[in-house]
Structure 1
Amino acid sequence: MENMHIVFWLLKDIGWCMLWKPLGLSMIVPTLTIALIITWRTRSMKAELAHNLAIVFWISANSYWMISEFIGFDTARVWGEITGKHLALIPFFTGLVILLYYYLVQKPREHRAEQVATL
């Protein structure tokens, strides 16, 4: 499943790069669906969950950005200097915050728990 996920993701980005709207748009659902399934299956492992959630948000941001370019609102101003494309930063930053939390809070907590367990 993880290997097929990569194929769908590449096809989505090739469709975006080549401006093949039907290919790019049709690959959003399978790419995101498989990413969500992988995330659900790894939810019991905190490191995997954090990374897979970040991937889900990355694919979401990437897909939104592609749609904004395809439909043509990527350069439309939403608020001040912020354009439609810039709204993709919300899921990008969400994924980043999840990873920062994992590396700055969760992983050190797990490391301390391991040290206490070995005493």
Structure 2
Amino acid sequence: MQPPLTDEPVYQVPARFRFSENLHIVFWLIKDISWAMLWQPLGMVMVIPTLLLAVKITIQTRYIKSELYHNLAILCWICANCTWMTFEFFWPEHDSLRYYTAIPFSFGIGFIAYYYLVLLPAAGKRAVAVVEKVDAAP
């Protein structure tokens, strides 16, 4: 492994987490292809592993705030996505049901907004305070 080009911290994902993330993408794509092709049984079956892996990834990254909040948003996105697909598969005549997916989508935006508007600025202020304290030390 080559050293980083800058002295910036390097973010590395453990291999055991990376496998789950990559498999999650495969399941998500199969679910969405099934939705697009109107393959109802496969699409509905793929909801389960897609959601379960999203939950697993969120739990695995819970100690890294940036990852946690982004993965919570992804989990909300997938919940909204699966709900929308279910409405289209089972109640296509009730197109207005899709508006209810705005609820989990909004929670996802809320997680992202909280991270970027509250947690990240607070972390930046703490980092500046630490640097100022170190610089002020005799």
Structure 1 segments of 4+ aligned residues over 2 angstroms from their partners: 73-76
- Which structure has more strand as a fraction of its residues? 1
How far is the alpha carbon of 1:23 from its aligned partner?
Answer: 1.0
Percentage of pairs with the same residue: 47
1:25 to 34, 44, 54: 44
How far is the alpha carbon of 1:72 from its aligned partner?
Answer: 1.1
Q: Which residue of 2 aligns with 1:103?
A: 116
Is the CA contact (8 Å cut-off) linking 1:68 and 1:74 kept in structure 2?
A: no
Alignment of 1:30-109 (within 5 A): 30-72=49-91, 75=94, 83-109=96-122
TM-score between both structures, scaled by the size of structure 1:
0.91
How far is the alpha carbon of 1:75 from its aligned partner?
Answer: 2.4
The count of residues paired between Structure 1 and Structure 2 equals 113
Point out where structure 2 has 5 or more consecutive residues left out of the alignment: 1-19, 133-138
Counterparts of 1:13 and 1:47 in 2: how far apart (Å)? Answer: 26
Q: Pairwise CA RMSD of aligned residues?
A: 1.1
After the TM superposition, which of the residue ranges 66-75 and 19-28 deviates more from structure 2? 66-75
Point out where structure 1 has 5 or more consecutive residues left out of the alignment: 77-82
Counterparts of 1:9 and 1:98 in 2: how far apart (Å)? Answer: 21
Counterparts of 1:73 and 1:92 in 2: how far apart (Å)? Answer: 20
CA spacing shift, 1:89–1:74, aligned 2, 3 Å:
farther
Of structures 1 and 2, the one with the larger relative CO (CA 8 A, separation 6+) is: 1
